[in-house]
Structure 1
Amino acid sequence: MDTATTPRVAVIGAGYWGPNLARNFAASPEWTLVAVCDRDEARASKLAAAVGHVDVETSVDELLARDDLDAVAIATPAATHHPLTLAALRAGKHVVVEKPIADSIEKAQEMVDEAKRRGLVLMTDHTFCYTPVVAKIRELIENGDLGDILFVDSVRINLGLVQPDVDVFWDLAPHDLSILDFVLPGGLKPEYVAAHGGDPIGAGKACVGHLVLPIGDGAVASVHVNWLSPTKVRQMTIGGSRRTLIWDDLNPVQRLSVFDRGVTLESQSATELDGDAKAAAKVSYRLGDTWSPALPEREALREMVNEFAAAIREGRPARTDGEAGLRVLRVLEEATATMNGARA
């Protein structure tokens, strides 16, 4: 690809997520959207017309054989990510793929290795990592505003949809895990993962689940996911030694709040006390101000597609590259293994 020209991209998959990708590629000055590909020609044609009457393809092989194509965006079921990504990479195309990057670590690792071998960009569409609020959370942690991270509690619950091919962990938890991988120094590298899932409606898969993993220095992150809740909650709390933040994604007025409140363990102990009394004497509670950072309004997917173009142009890994997708996948696989072991 001539890096002085605008890269040309096609979207594979015109179902649920594909239209969002196609719309943002079509609207971005960093890209030229040339085609939409789907086995359902009517569905592909409808999307192609909606985003500017681009070409319609029903064969991935024919699409990848085009010489006017530099990259593809894959928005298809997780089980298809591996073969589609490998085919695209072997055709010399850069790839951005919907989460999760694949349905197994072995397949994802092959995808990452293939991209490295060919010098191509492989990017995972961890969309939340491109939102202004997550960018601000990362900034607050990097700048030390929160201090040392003590805990993370994340809740992502709603009523449905029960997915036909994955359980609630694989459906909802990738969002929270990708955010943690992005904002925590060093990313997600837990020593172990503990997962507990329930299937109270007999769906044949976990519909309610809790995921717990250490994030270093005694800190722990917990993720609660649920398809059966009558109310929708999207909330993450990150507690630090200096401040604690709460992100309520469903609150349009005050999405992010930072609290100067917390628990402090005094360095000097009460020498005249021992046991529980001594431990209690070392703890003090801090009550301070609460403030809400100003957040710009911009679409996360627009930022994501622009980052994809920048990574290609600059010959560097994308912000949420294949390795990021692999780290999230490791946690999901460990969660599955933990539950299977618990049932044995």
Structure 2
Amino acid sequence: MKKRLNVAVVGAGYWGPHLGRNLRASREWNLAAICDLDIDRARRVADAVGGASVTADLQSVLSDPLIDAIAIATPAKTHHEIAMAALEAGKHVMVEKPLADTPEHGLEMVVRAAERGLVLMADHTSCYTPAVLKMRELIAAGEIGDVLFVDSLRVNFGLIQPDIDVFWDLAPHDLSILDFILPGGLRATSVAAHGSDPLSSGTSSIGHLSMPLADGVMAHLHVNWLNPTRTRRIVIGGTRHTLVWDDLNPQQRLSVYDRGVDLSSISHATAKDRRAANVPYRSGEARASAAEEREALAAVVAEFAAAIHGHRDARTSGAAGLRVLSVLDAAAHSLAAFGAPQPLPDQLRAGGVAA
């Protein structure tokens, strides 16, 4: 039997209560403390999850030798300072996305965790939903063949954020999913972003992001705060099948389509002149791919414990968080350059990070 690990949640705002509830319910964890500058808010969260020590003093948490890990649920601009202090104190760290406020800060966190032999995990919760785990499994097994394209749509009506644009608010969800399910992760070569600010709020509320990936694959993401409908959909086209993930359809979150281009029947001679090629299409059936419904965050905290016990990287590691963060940063630079593509660092194009 592995011993339960002691964990403190740092941040009792929106996400902290969800983390606290799942850590309290987990067989792998003992929820040791809730830490927040607002002690009353920390106390309310502790009471809601069944009790835990509360404190406004982060240093007291980090100096406690009985605490093995912390889960950070604070604003992104504070992630680097808190995580670095925790890693220096010998604590394993899980961080709410985005990993940090800049790629430079994120890289420091990844390097320090590796130097100290500690787990740094990105809380990419969407990656642990049953449907996304199934997508990863199907792609890894070659079910859809070689990936040809990725189209992502994440739109809703509000809420307009005062300190970040629509890219930083909505795109991290789908970027983290793509990094999780595509072989080798987000191996983008460059990022081009176009945004619109029809409300004159000072930040983009509508955005389009394009990324050339490895082997000629193009990924496109559309995010929007002004759409009257709410949509969460990713389409991944392959040489054999196409996957459609519809997160808001609980009856059929994942579908496998047999429609597509029949590349196997295009001869090499014909393929030399694509303009003249008579491209054949398949018009097959669609089928649902069933997956048992369960709360993703419970799987997140279980994976955090498993990575610590197994002395291994988490499935959504700090490196994964850094790849997502670097795409967001490149998108911001592209926006400032009126949509000009911005290259990603060589180590991120290769699917890794510098050690």
Q: TM-score, normalised by structure 1?
A: 0.95
**Equivalent in the alignment of 1:164:** 162
> Percent identical across equivalent pairs?
58
Displacement of 1:275 after TM fit?
Answer: 8.3
Displacement of 1:269 after TM fit?
Answer: 7.5
Matched, 1:218 2:216: yes
**Equivalent in the alignment of 1:179:** 177
Q: Matches of residues 162-311 of structure 1 in structure 2 within 5 Å?
A: 162-265=160-263, 266-268=265-267, 276=275, 278-279=276-277, 281=278, 283-311=279-307
Which digits, 9 at most, give the CA deviation of each residue in 1:251-280, with x for residues without a partner?
Answer: 111111111111124333898xx884x32x
Amino acid aligned to 1:293:
S
Which digits, 9 at most, give the CA deviation of each residue in 1:63-95, with x for residues without a partner?
Answer: 212222110000010000000001111111100
1:339 corresponds, among 315, 335, 341, to 335
Give the Cα–Cα distance (whole angstroms) in 1 for the partners of residues 267 and 44 of structure 2: 69
Amino acid aligned to 1:313:
H
**Equivalent in the alignment of 2:118:** 120
Matched, 1:326 2:322: yes
Q: Quick one: structure 1 residues 79 and 267, their matched pair in 2 at CA, closer, same or farther if it must change by over 3 Å?
A: same
Amino acid aligned to 1:296:
E
Matched, 1:102 2:89: no
Amino acid aligned to 1:304:
V
Displacement of 1:167 after TM fit?
Answer: 1.0
Q: Quick one: structure 1 residues 334 and 80, their matched pair in 2 at CA, closer, same or farther if it must change by over 3 Å?
A: same
Displacement of 1:225 after TM fit?
Answer: 0.6
Which digits, 9 at most, give the CA deviation of each residue in 1:317-338, with x for residues without a partner?
Answer: 1110100001111111111111
Displacement of 1:341 after TM fit?
Answer: 1.1
Residue 149 of structure 2 aligns to a residue whose secondary structure is strand
Which digits, 9 at most, give the CA deviation of each residue in 1:30-78, with x for residues without a partner?
Answer: 0000110111111110110111211001111122122221100000100
Residue 178 of structure 2 aligns to a residue whose secondary structure is helix
Which digits, 9 at most, give the CA deviation of each residue in 1:227-259, with x for residues without a partner?
Answer: 111110111111111111111111111111111
**Equivalent in the alignment of 1:14:** 12
Residue 251 of structure 1 aligns to a residue whose secondary structure is coil
Residue 136 of structure 1 aligns to a residue whose secondary structure is helix
Displacement of 1:343 after TM fit?
Answer: 7.6
**Equivalent in the alignment of 2:312:** 316
Residue 193 of structure 1 aligns to a residue whose secondary structure is strand
Regions of 4+ moved over 2 Å: 264-271
Amino acid aligned to 1:314:
G
**Equivalent in the alignment of 1:45:** 43
Q: Matches of residues 148-159 of structure 1 in structure 2 within 5 Å?
A: 148-159=146-157
Give the Cα–Cα distance (whole angstroms) in 1 for the partners of residues 11 and 312 of structure 2: 26
Question: What RMSD in Å do the two structures reach over aligned CA positions?
Answer: 1.6
Amino acid aligned to 1:43:
R
Residue 218 of structure 2 aligns to a residue whose secondary structure is strand
Contact 2:128 2:296 in 1 (8 A): yes
Give the Cα–Cα distance (whole angstroms) in 2 for the partners of residues 190 and 50 of structure 1: 42
Unaligned runs of 5+ in 1: none
Displacement of 1:28 after TM fit?
Answer: 0.2
Give the Cα–Cα distance (whole angstroms) in 1 for the partners of residues 160 and 116 of structure 2: 38
Amino acid aligned to 2:50:
G
Contact 2:3 2:28 in 1 (8 A): no
Q: TM-score, normalised by structure 2?
A: 0.92
Contact 2:192 2:339 in 1 (8 A): no
**Segment of structure 1 superposing worse, 164-173 or 97-106:** 164-173
Give the Cα–Cα distance (whole angstroms) in 2 for the partners of residues 4 and 220 of structure 1: 44
Which digits, 9 at most, give the CA deviation of each residue in 1:139-177, with x for residues without a partner?
Answer: 111111111111111000001111222111111101101
Unaligned runs of 5+ in 2: 341-355
**Segment of structure 1 superposing worse, 231-240 or 163-172:** 163-172
